[in-house]
Amino acid sequence: MKWMRNSTEVTATKGRIHIEANGAHPGIALVFENIDTQDKGIYTCKAVVDSKEVQASFRLTVMKPIKFVDTVTRQTASLYQSVVVRCDAEGDPEPIIKWTVNGKVPEGPKYKVVADGLYINNVTLEDKGEYTCRAFQLSPTISNMLERIIVLKIEHKPVWREKEEPAKAYAFITGNVNLTCEVTAEPAPKFEWLKANETLTSQQNVTIFEEEFHTILQLQVNSENDFGDYVCKASNRLGKVERVITLLKSSKPAVPETSIREARHDSVKIDIEGPENEELGILGYRVQYIRRQELKKGWNSAKVVEFDKGESPYSISGLRQNTHYIMRVASRNAAGFSDYTKESSFTTDKIHADPVTGSASTATYVSSGATQIIGVIVLHHIVAVTVELKHNL
């Protein structure tokens, strides 16, 4: 009895591929240790049985799973240059590579699949995003798929997110104003604020906030000297941009007029009017409200709702039933907020228990002609029942 690989007999009794006694049964076993793709092929067992030579063969197929090599998940390209987004996968059978770019199949002369990735011609900012490289193994005996998501960043100098320039902002003395700059850039930019050619830092009436791609200069306006031109600069190793924001003096908006139109068990409707003939026009309103028993904590603990200017009434929901609230309102223009109105109050309705179900409910009774409609809304169980009775009243 012997084992053959192609036309060569396997005789080794030790090593990675060897033969050994079968133990409990007559015959010899062919043993593979640390099997490799090079071991694939046809193996034949030959033996003499009853003076006749017999044999049995099998084909050994060895699959090497997909593995990505030299494929990093974050890659960069330079603006207006050509680049290959690298994705190299190995395996046996050899994987087939398919691409999607931001969820779409890349087409046209701009993209070309090459041996080690996806070629992009004349890179623009629109080419940034997620590139998905999928590797497929397909054969009569196996199928497999593995994907790698690659984030492509396009290196470029800072570019303003908003095209409008020059910029203007408004404020009044004793007021606060936020001046904002926002850019796109790769690498991330460094920001700088200047006034009268002097660099500003966070101190006294100036606070500067910075995140990766935008900065805010928060200014408490104390005097006439705080008005004027502020310069925002954004730079990285590829270039820089700057923008002038002119802070103009305006007046604080006047206090609006308010009244309570209707209070329900969980909401209130408020009429807010004016003020009229404002220099910059009223843009909206800020409403603060707090439960009466919490007022001793101060207005800093009050809830705040802001509305764009529209038609009255303005609604606030999510209130507690049978609760006394204190409220005040300020108007807003481009320069900031007015003083608050005098405090006013309202009380939300109490929900009464339904006499039949014992659940909290509200009920309405409407009678018209020969039809009587009774509607019951059970709030706790979210059930609506309508009964229509027809008779002559």
Report the alpha-carbon distance of residue 90 to residue 64 in Å, rounded.
8
What six digits make up the tokens of 263?
Answer: 């209070």
In this prediction, residue 385 carries a pLDDT of 36
Say how far residue 172 (Cα) sits from the centre of its chain. Answer: 36
What single DSSP character describes residue 15? Answer: S
- Residue 299: phi, psi to the nearest 5? -70, -15
Report the alpha-carbon distance of residue 227 to residue 247 in Å, rounded.
5
Report the alpha-carbon distance of residue 376 to residue 387 in Å, rounded.
9
Q: Please, what are the domains in the chain?
A: 2-60 (2.60.40.10), 65-157 (2.60.40.10), 161-249 (2.60.40.10), 257-347 (2.60.40.10), 352-390 (no CATH)
In this prediction, residue 83 carries a pLDDT of 96
- Residues 37, 17 contacting (CB under 8 angstroms): no
pLDDT < 50 regions, the chain: 361-393
Whether this model's pTM surpasses 0.75: no
Map tokens 């770019």 to a residue.
101
What are the Cα distances from residue 223, in Å, to 175, 176, 207, 219, 253?
A: 10, 12, 17, 11, 18
- Residue 37: phi, psi to the nearest 5? -60, -25
| Closest to 220 (Cα-Cα) out of 179, 180, 253, 279 | 179
In this prediction, residue 379 carries a pLDDT of 38
- Residues 250, 263 contacting (CB under 8 angstroms): no
- Alpha carbons within 13 angstroms on the beta-carbon side of residue 156 total 18
Give yes or no for a cis peptide into 187 (omega within 30° of 0).
yes
Number of helices (H), then strands (E), belonging to the chain: the values are 0, 35
What single DSSP character describes residue 342? Answer: P
**What string of DSSP letters covers 269-316?**
EEEEE---S-SS---EEEEEEEEGGGGGG-GGGSEEEEEES-SSPEEE
Report the alpha-carbon distance of residue 23 to residue 21 in Å, rounded.
6
**From the CB of residue 268, how many other CB atoms can be counted at a distance below 10 Å?**
22
Say how far residue 292 (Cα) sits from the centre of its chain. Answer: 39
In this prediction, residue 393 carries a pLDDT of 32
